[in-house]
């Protein structure tokens, strides 16, 4: 398997263009199961998760693919299959987004429980709660979510959970409700921009969705949906990763093609840490300080600090002159990168759902392992500022969500190479690891 070898010491400088949002394009691709005719989705990133979902959809009778320019063209040509097999769904959690569309359009589904990043317990009880309210109760049989729904009906359902709202659960319920009889009201809906982007696509298909992006979403069901053309929003997590990299390396980087209104919490953290951040409607320039200041960080549902940026911010705070506290309110066990940062010399102490970061320690290159997508990004960023070389293994996680990240960082002045690290077959991804 591939690894990245990161040489520390470079100050990043220049301009980088953000790709389309992975977390937006995946549920939008799943939504094509609902429609008749071809859908054209523009701006999709060239990442493993997109290609994996294309395989899932192909097995469900949706034909098409991704063009070199990032355009995904999809059309339902066989509305018969209702099985999303374990061998594909295990590779990423977003595959669960086919559940709602299958029950709404094909009236039955057998979808494997999803895999994805190993970041703690991620139940789908709220997905099932939303679908049950619409008339589609499900059971768990042999590791599959199984449901029959002769006809869905509108309902009111509350989807808030102990750690906040559910993004994919909101997406599943919203997609199913578009073809249900009557009106559905989702209270406690996820407010993330990716949910609003999905709603925009559904409305172009002929759906009647109101309020997406707020805690209260109203969907009036329609008889049928058609294919549509849509451009996905920029990836705010990728943008944040490059912005943190600029701050860490005392760099000067302009991140273009962003929605800066989606990045308010991250910008606030960077400014509090001493970075100079200037924004326009579609670009954000970050100039890193000579010395970073400590900052307390708490992840929260949107518009709070995204859990998907927690690891990258922790890497940055390892350099700050003082003590920071990073608290994880979404996935309390999402700290597998802590041990890897410690291998590089970071002074970290986990205390329940929080990590005490005693900043200022000099990081040194080491061989580390990416346990999940964002942990991989964290370790690459740490390698940029560590003394010597950092070898990041299992970067298939990174490839799930970042398009050729090493090439784009190298264009900013980094020194990163990709090669085969010679891992034996026993070290390759096991079921559910990807």
Claim to verify: residue 223 and residue 343 sit in the same structural domain: no
Q: Rounded distance, CA 168 to CA 126, Å?
A: 9
Q: Rounded distance, CA 23 to CA 232, Å?
A: 10
Q: Residue 119: its pLDDT value, please? A: 54
Q: Residue 434: its pLDDT value, please? A: 37
Question: Residue 283 is part of a domain; what is its CATH number?
Answer: 3.65.10.10
Claim to verify: residue 216 and residue 256 sit in the same structural domain: no
Domain-located, residue 434: no
Claim to verify: residue 217 and residue 275 sit in the same structural domain: no
Domain-located, residue 301: yes
Q: Rounded distance, CA 97 to CA 196, Å?
A: 15
Q: Where are the alpha helices (DSSP H) in 344-389?
A: 373-385
Claim to verify: residue 389 and residue 268 sit in the same structural domain: yes
Would residue 97 show up in a list of annotated catalytic residues for this protein? Answer: no
Q: Residue 423: its pLDDT value, please? A: 62
Q: Rounded distance, CA 26 to CA 54, Å?
A: 9
Claim to verify: residue 222 and residue 309 sit in the same structural domain: no
Q: What are phi and psi of 304, to 5 degrees?
A: -75, -175
Q: Is residue 134 within 8 Å of 153, Cβ to Cβ?
A: yes
Domain-located, residue 433: no
Claim to verify: residue 350 and residue 281 sit in the same structural domain: yes
Claim to verify: residue 197 and residue 304 sit in the same structural domain: no
Q: What are phi and psi of 259, to 5 degrees?
A: -100, 100
Q: What are phi and psi of 150, to 5 degrees?
A: -55, -35
Domain end, chosen from 185, 215, 231, is at 231
pLDDT in single tens digits along all 434 residues of the chain = 899 999 999 999 999 999 999 999 999 999 999 999 999 999 999 999 999 999 999 999 999 999 999 999 999 999 999 999 988 888 787 889 999 999 999 999 999 988 545 555 467 999 999 999 999 999 999 989 999 999 999 999 999 988 889 999 999 999 999 999 999 999 999 999 999 999 999 999 999 999 999 999 999 999 999 999 999 999 999 999 999 999 999 999 999 999 999 999 999 999 999 999 999 989 999 999 999 999 999 999 999 999 999 999 999 999 999 999 999 999 999 999 999 999 999 999 999 999 999 999 899 999 999 999 999 999 999 999 999 999 999 999 999 999 999 999 999 999 999 998 776 444 444 433 33
The catalytic position among 117, 191, 284, 318 is: 117
Whole-structure pTM value: 0.95
Domain end, chosen from 182, 207, 231, is at 231
Claim to verify: residue 291 and residue 388 sit in the same structural domain: yes
Domain-located, residue 432: no
Q: Rounded distance, CA 7 to CA 387, Å?
A: 8
Claim to verify: residue 216 and residue 253 sit in the same structural domain: no
The domain of 314 spans 2-19+234-427
Domain end, chosen from 212, 231, 250, is at 231
Claim to verify: residue 13 and residue 114 sit in the same structural domain: no
Look at residues 378, 406, 408, 30 and name the one whose alpha carbon lies nearest to residue 194: 30
Claim to verify: residue 200 and residue 338 sit in the same structural domain: no
Q: Using only the alpha carbons of the chain, give its radius of gyration.
A: 21
Measured distance between the N- and C-terminal CA atoms of the chain, rounded to whole angstroms: 13
Q: Rounded distance, CA 405 to CA 380, Å?
A: 10
Claim to verify: residue 7 and residue 32 sit in the same structural domain: no
Q: Rounded distance, CA 159 to CA 143, Å?
A: 23
Q: How many domains does the chain have?
A: 2
Environment class of residue 1 by beta-carbon count within 10 Å: exposed (0-12), middle (13-18) or buried (19+)? middle
């Amino acid at each position: 398997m591939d690894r990245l070898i990161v040489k520390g010491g470079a100050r990043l400088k220049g301009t980088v263009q953000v790709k389309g949002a992975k977390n937006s394009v995946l549920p939008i691709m799943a939504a094509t199961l609902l429609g008749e005719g071809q859908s054209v989705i523009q701006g999709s990133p060239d990442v493993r998760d997109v290609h994996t979902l294309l395989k899932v959809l192909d097995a469900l009778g949706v034909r098409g693919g991704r063009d070199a320019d990032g355009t995904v063209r999809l059309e339902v040509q066989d509305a018969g299959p209702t099985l999303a097999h374990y061998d594909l769904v295990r590779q990423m959690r977003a595959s669960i987004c086919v559940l709602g569309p299958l029950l709404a359009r094909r009236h039955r589904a057998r979808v494997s429980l999803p895999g994805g990043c190993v970041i703690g317990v991620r139940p789908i009880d709220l997905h099932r709660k939303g679908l049950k309210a619409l008339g589609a109760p499900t059971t768990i049989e042999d590791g599959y979510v199984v449901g029959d729904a002769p006809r869905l009906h509108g309902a009111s359902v509350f989807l808030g959970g102990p750690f906040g709202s559910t993004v994919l659960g909101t997406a599943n319920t919203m997609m199913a409700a578009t073809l249900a009889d009557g009106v559905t009201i989702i209270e406690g809906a996820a407010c993330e921009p990716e949910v609003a982007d999905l709603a925009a696509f559904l409305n172009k298909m002929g759906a009647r969705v109101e309020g997406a992006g707020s805690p209260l979403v109203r969907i009036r069901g329609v008889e049928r949906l058609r294919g549509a053309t849509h451009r996905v929003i920029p990836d705010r997590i990728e943008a944040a990763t490059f912005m943190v990299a600029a701050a860490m390396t005392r760099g000067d980087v302009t991140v273009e093609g962003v929605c800066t209104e989606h990045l308010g919490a991250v910008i606030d953290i960077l400014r509090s840490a001493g970075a100079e951040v200037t924004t326009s409607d579609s670009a954000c320039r970050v100039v890193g300080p000579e010395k970073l200041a400590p900052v307390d960080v708490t992840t929260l549902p949107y518009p709070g600090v995204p859990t998907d940026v927690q690891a990258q911010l922790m890497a940055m705070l390892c350099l700050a002159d003082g003590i920071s506290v990073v608290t994880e309110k979404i996935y309390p066990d999402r700290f597998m990168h802590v041990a890897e940062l410690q291998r590089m010399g970071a002074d970290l102490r986990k205390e329940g759902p929080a990590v005490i970061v005693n900043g200022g320690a000099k990081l040194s290159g080491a061989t580390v392992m990416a346990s999940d997508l964002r942990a991989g990004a964290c370790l690459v960023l740490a390698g940029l500022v560590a003394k010597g070389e950092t070898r990041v293994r299992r970067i298939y996680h990174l490839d799930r969500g970042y398009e050729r990240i090493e090439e784009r960082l190298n264009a900013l002045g980094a020194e990163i190479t990709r090669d085969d690290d010679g891992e034996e077959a026993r070290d390759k991804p096991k079921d559910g690891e990807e």
